[in-house]
């Protein structure tokens, strides 16, 4: 399974390169521009994939060597990471081929797998040396980006198949924003304030603000401020989770004082 993680991590940047050179069809930016939505992010935001691929490769190589090969937590993470990497890889040619329903299933599956990885690593009581740097951070970054990208993809499916109004997108886009916000906040809560996960989500939300603040679609200005509001709430939640004293700690302190 550890070898599968490594092979899947290598496949992601290779397939991304093929996708960007038009091997499977139009590149992601071209396809995205065909179906404008109120959730789409500015193009620069997608450069995060370069960092994600690099860190995932580092994680994949690291987890195959030394004492890490025998670590129980990393062993539980490996199948989820391999599946998440494989689904991320599959999504790219599917998107170029405009197989949007399959894309939607694949990206939500990849998100679930990577969130599971980040959750397992965030809740490991006895991590091996270097685990936060070489495993937790890469997989949390990937999970954070996908946690918003999946909903951006959902919005494009709605527009591509005209499932709801494409002229009046704001009402249903607000519902998608609410669902995305709920997912981000719940996952972050379960990981007790995962700063890397949140950093990826904030990067995406800021890029949605940048894109929508200058977008011609009706309702884009509202969408821009909604994205910024979600970012603010997520940042505040993370600060509270990271720095506020826990109830357990306060209770323990009172018992000691007594």
Confidence at residue 245, expressed as pLDDT on a 0 to 100 scale: 67
**How much is the pLDDT for 191?**
96
Q: For position 252, what pLDDT does the model report?
A: 43
Rounded CA gap, 172 and 155, in Å?
Answer: 9
Q: Is the dihedral of CA 219, 225, 231, 234 positive or negative?
A: negative
Cα–Cα–Cα angle for 157, 42, 144, nearest 5°?
Answer: 70
Q: Give how far Cα 135 sits from Cα of 72, 75, 123, 132, 189, Å.
A: 13, 12, 13, 6, 20
- ∠ at Cα 219 (141, 177), nearest 5°? 35
Residue 254 is predicted with a pLDDT of 40
pLDDT score at 257: 36
Cα-based torsion angle of the residue sequence 83, 46, 154, 27 in order, rounded to the nearest 10 degrees: -90
Residue 27 has a pLDDT of 87
* pLDDT tens per residue across all 258 residues of the chain: 899 999 999 999 999 999 989 899 988 888 988 999 999 999 999 999 999 999 999 999 999 998 888 899 999 999 999 999 999 999 999 999 999 999 999 999 999 999 999 999 999 988 999 999 999 999 999 999 999 999 999 999 999 999 999 999 999 999 999 999 999 999 999 999 999 999 999 999 999 999 999 998 999 999 999 999 999 999 999 999 999 765 544 444 443 333
């Amino acid at each position: 399974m550890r070898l599968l993680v490594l092979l899947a991590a290598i496949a992601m940047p290779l397939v991304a390169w093929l996708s960007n050179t038009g091997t499977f069809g139009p590149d992601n930016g071209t396809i995205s521009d065909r179906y404008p939505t109120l959730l789409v992010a500015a193009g620069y935001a997608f450069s995060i994939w370069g960092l994600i691929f690099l860190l995932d490769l580092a994680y994949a190589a690291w987890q195959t060597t030394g004492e890490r090969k025998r670590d129980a937590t990393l062993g539980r993470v490996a199948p989820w990471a391999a599946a998440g990497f494989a689904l991320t890889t599959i999504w790219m040619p599917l998107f170029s081929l405009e197989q949007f329903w399959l894309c939607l299933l694949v990206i939500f599956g990849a998100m679930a797998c990577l969130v599971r990885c980040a959750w397992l690593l965030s809740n490991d009581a006895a991590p091996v040396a270097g685990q936060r740097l070489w495993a937790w951070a890469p997989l949390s970054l990937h999970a954070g980006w996908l946690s918003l990208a999946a909903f951006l993809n959902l919005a494009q499916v709605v527009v591509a198949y005209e499932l709801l109004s494409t002229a009046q997108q704001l009402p249903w886009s607000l519902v998608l924003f609410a669902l995305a916000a709920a997912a981000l906040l719940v996952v972050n809560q379960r990981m007790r304030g995962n700063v890397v996960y949140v950093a990826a989500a904030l990067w995406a939300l800021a890029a949605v603000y940048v894109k929508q603040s200058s977008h011609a679609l009706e309702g884009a200005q509202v969408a821009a401020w909604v994205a910024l509001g979600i970012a603010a709430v997520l940042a505040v939640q993370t600060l509270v989770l990271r720095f506020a004293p826990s109830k357990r700690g306060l209770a323990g302190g009172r018992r000691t004082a007594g």
